[in-house]
Structure 1
Amino acid sequence: MTPPSRPTYSALTSSTDPGRQRLDRLATASITVGAFAVLAAILAIGIFLLWESLPLLSLAGTFTLETLSPLAWGTLKAALAAMLLALPIALGAAIYTALYMPPRLRSRVKPVLEMMEAIPGVVVGFIAGLILAPWVERHLASTLVLLVWLPLSTLLAGVLWHSARQSLRKRLPFSWAGLWLTPWLIAMTFIALWATPGVEHVLIGGDLRQWLDQQLGVNYATRNAMIVGMAMGFAVIPSIFALAEDALADVPTSLLEGAQALGATRWQALWKVALPAAGPGIFSAVMIGAGRAVGETMIVLMASGNTAIFSTSPFEGMRSIAAAIAIELPESTPDSSTYHVLIFAALVLFLFTFLVNTLAEVVRLRLRTRLSRMGDRG
């Protein structure tokens, strides 16, 4: 017996009333016009920046290079500091939330983490510049110890949980580690803050900041790359987490179940199956996070000190391209050399963020195609 054929789209639309068809066509036309308007606006911005940068061809190339080099270095330095903090936290949280956390807890935790992205960058920069930077300056040793001790204490908690008795592991299941690990990390933080000043006094006989200046000649600025990395890393974490978590959650469960049925552990299924399958999506998340870190303005402006210098030290400041444009462009004279250099810097920043986001979108579409093929085969 031949199964009945499904009605085609034209048959469905022909059976509807003419009013609904007109609304559908109007909505389709509006979406199409809006999409082309966005593309036209982006193209117009690029053409404007390129046109305003053309007068630089009559200037000496060394002037432009010497002017932009510290800004480009500061931009990369700030972005690298932010990604060093954001990547381990965001990707670790995405893996745990997507693959290990119970669905009931995940439905509550994920929206909270995603809502962190709604915090304005100016608020994060304000807190970093006026609250975090002075506190870190007074407690530099404690801050450095916390940056190392908290990841180590997390690993220590995992080792203790793995070696504990079966009854205790049932009371503290791994799927709920996000809850019972919180008081552990709070306790480790208090221990580090309590013990570090005494150890600092015994080892170096005083304040770490003064010891770095006197013994190593390292200058510590109140607003520096480390402060920018902490603040901007906090702002970038939600973007990376949301995209990476969606990519991992979209991996077909049949792949993980098949790997475990063949004898693989959950850890092996994660590394050998889940991460390779979600790799393009995770790469897309990382690229979008890097693009936001490069283009961030207010956090770098308020927490970096805005010193255009070449320095690899995390204790010294920098000036990024976005911060330089925000500070100097409103005061520059139109058609002056400074004006055209700033426009050229904006063009470089525009091209970089455009290419990064385009690459991330291409990778995301590749992920969707790969997962759909895997689902069809399963």
Structure 2
Amino acid sequence: MTRNRLTSQPFRHLQDRIATGLITAGGMGVLLAVLGIGVFLVWEAMPLLLSGNTNALTRLSPLAWGTLKAALMALLFALPLALGAAFYSGFFMSRQLHSRIKPTLEMMEAIPGVVIGFIAGLIFAPWVERHLASTLVLLIWLPLSMGLAGLLWHLASRRWQRRLPLSWAALWLIPWLIAMFMVALWLTPLVEQAWWGGDLRQRLYLWFGLDYVTRNALIVGLAMGFAVIPSIYSLAEDALTEVPRSLMEGAQALGASRWQAAMKVALPAAWPGLFSATMIGAGRAVGETMIVLLASSNTALLSASPFEGMRTMAAAIAIELPEASAGGTPYRMLVLAALVLFLFTFLVNTLAEVVRQRLRRRYHRIGGAS
């Protein structure tokens, strides 16, 4: 038996070396592929950059503005929800509920963008057009109703606080939000009639010159925000839960409440991870294609209005590249747009990874010191 073990050890070493070599070769292959893509895009876009054709470059400005506009609208919707959910689930949610909620939210990331764009463009966008006032009231009223629920819980007696524990608020808030949703829909016609003369769209056009398009930046922002929430939430929640518990326990031992310890100790310690999650969500929003194609009007406009359409670089590449002849000016412009997206995504992901590694080293030092 000892002889069999001795003879099997060289074979195991050979297997380890083969596995290590395959993993190394795979990693090098990925790096070479990324480098090759970058070199190809630079080579194809170089003639346009060296030609001095400023007219062709200015045609990209509406696409760049549309890309930033869509990403900004998505982050305005996604960041409060994702970071708030990560903060609550990381410090206040019960472990039993956390073990079910977090995998469910992370599974949302598997929903294809084409499905989200289809629902947003064909179902959600017409509903918002018919109920624009209700949509705007809901976007304002639902966050306020969450704050109202927290205030009522804080003012409630100990008996009701024990019946409705904060660790299970993710469940008992659902009926409250449904009730607030119905109240907002019931009150919106009265508010619209009293404040906007019964037609909000007409008032927006008369007061601010804002024209409403069915598929606009607001629809894209809500749909794309829904798509990037899982990735931001998962990374932010991991960053918050990786904060050494010794920091929280030390703050609470000095007299701080759990809320004070989370806000003043854990949150500043985890900010690099939260920044990394935000950057990765921004990179996902900038590179999204199908949601923009299906949920926007795909019109290249330099407009800051959330009720007008836009065209992003990714959408322009998907639409125009099949019809662009290789070597022509439109082809070079699309390649340049792809190069800009490539550089932005590469830099954002690199920055996020550097910040994440820095956060891990900081936690490791804190954990070793404790």
Residue in structure 1 matching 2:65, options 52, 56, 73:
73
Deviation at 1:198, TM superposition (A): 2.0
Which segments of structure 1 move beyond 6 Å, counting only runs of 4 or more? Answer: 13-16
C-alpha RMSD of the superposition: 1.4
Deviation at 1:209, TM superposition (A): 1.3
- Structure 2 counterpart SS, 1:17: helix
Contact 2:213 / 2:308 at 8 angstroms: preserved in 1? yes
Deviation at 1:215, TM superposition (A): 4.0
Are residue 238 (structure 1) and residue 230 (structure 2) matched?
yes
Residue in structure 1 matching 2:344, options 343, 352, 355:
352
Give the gaps of 5 or more residues in structure 1. 1-12
* 1:284 matched residue in structure 2: 276
- Give the letter for the 1:62 counterpart: T
Alpha-carbon distance in structure 1 between the residues aligned to 2:303 and 2:185: 29
* 2:285 matched residue in structure 1: 293
Are residue 204 (structure 1) and residue 186 (structure 2) matched?
no
Residue in structure 2 matching 1:302, options 282, 294, 314:
294
Alpha-carbon distance in structure 1 between the residues aligned to 2:202 and 2:11: 77
Q: Residue deviations 1:2-53, cap 9 Å, x none?
A: xxxxxxxxxxx99962222111111111110000000000000000000001
CA change 1:62–1:94 in 2 (3 A) is same
- Structure 2 counterpart SS, 1:219: coil
Alpha-carbon distance in structure 1 between the residues aligned to 2:164 and 2:198: 42
* 1:5 matched residue in structure 2: none
Residue in structure 1 matching 2:116, options 110, 120, 124:
124
* 1:170 matched residue in structure 2: 162
Deviation at 1:124, TM superposition (A): 0.4
Task: Identify which range, 55-64 or 234-243, moves more after superposition.
Answer: 55-64
Alpha-carbon distance in structure 1 between the residues aligned to 2:338 and 2:304: 24
CA change 1:14–1:269 in 2 (3 A) is farther
- Give the letter for the 1:187 counterpart: A
TM-score (norm. length: structure 1): 0.95
Deviation at 1:55, TM superposition (A): 1.1
Q: Residue deviations 1:207-255, cap 9 Å, x none?
A: 2112222443210010111001100000000000000001111111111
- Give the letter for the 1:108 counterpart: R
Are residue 135 (structure 1) and residue 154 (structure 2) matched?
no
Q: Residue deviations 1:144-202, cap 9 Å, x none?
A: 00000000000000000001101110111111111111110110001001110122123
Deviation at 1:58, TM superposition (A): 4.6
Residue in structure 1 matching 2:266, options 254, 268, 274:
274
Give the gaps of 5 or more residues in structure 2. none
1:138-149 aligned within 5 A: 138-149=130-141
Task: Identify which range, 79-88 or 209-218, moves more after superposition.
Answer: 209-218
Residue in structure 2 matching 1:84, options 56, 76, 98:
76
Deviation at 1:126, TM superposition (A): 0.4
TM-score (norm. length: structure 2): 0.97
Task: Identify which range, 241-250 or 212-221, moves more after superposition.
Answer: 212-221
